[in-house]
Amino acid sequence: MASDESLPTLKILMIGPSGAGKSALLIRYCDDQFDSESSTATIGVDFKMKKLSVHGKAYRLNLLDTAGQERFRTLSNSYYRGAHGVILVYDISNRESFQAMERWFEEAESNAMPGAIMYLVGSKLDKTNNRMVQTEEGQRLAELHGCGFCEVSSKTRENVRKPFVEIVDSIVRDPKLLSASSRRTGTVNVGTGGGEGWGPRCSC
């Protein structure tokens, strides 16, 4: 199996309102951990790496979890450079979280490189008794922006891998997106790699 350093690298941002569940989703996906008592707001940007195999080919994912607070927006905007994909996260138990998503889509579409893949995620699916946003509303918003959609629960693990697998699948199906990123950043090599299966859960 190729070393992590030689694998094609995909950069994916996670954005959305503060408290939407971005960090919990990333930690569950990378580390398979969930601790509701220790959840704190991200300051600036958190970074993790994950190895994922799609269609028998391995990729290294650079996953950036951006802060949702307004005072960090300028900092976060610089991290769009060279991003292949953007995962937008809202809280299904918080109506204001969902209503803010149009602004987040506008930001992503203004700052991400042309053709970057967007994916909408409704988090905290375990809070269905307190649901304030219906699944159909999330689906309609995703369709409006031409992107994928699912609901997840970092607490129960439900669908946690789905948004990452599906956004990577969409990215690697678009050679123009990969080559454009390689030219812009000079760091993405899409002609190497290989191997099968999942690598280490997370290294950061």
Q: What share of the chain is helix, strand, coil (3-state, %, to 5)?
A: 40, 25, 40
**Would strands 45-54 and 148-151 be described as parallel, antiparallel, or unpaired?**
unpaired
Render pLDDT for 62-84 as a digit per residue (tens, 0 to 9): 999 876 555 445 555 678 888 99
Judge contact between 196 and 177, C-beta under 8 A: no
Q: Of residues 49 and 153, which shows the higher confidence score? A: 153
Whose CA is closest to 165, among 111, 96, 87?
87
Cβ atoms of 22 and 42 within 8 Å: the answer is yes
Query: At a CB cut-off of 8 Å and minimum separation 6, what does 140 contact?
Result: none
Q: All domains of the chain, ordered by start, with CATH?
A: 4-185 (3.40.50.300)
* pLDDT tens-place string over residues 109-143: 999 989 999 999 999 999 999 999 999 999 999 99
Question: 154 with 24: CB under 8 angstroms?
Answer: yes
Q: In this structure, what token pair is assigned to residue 2? A: 């190729």
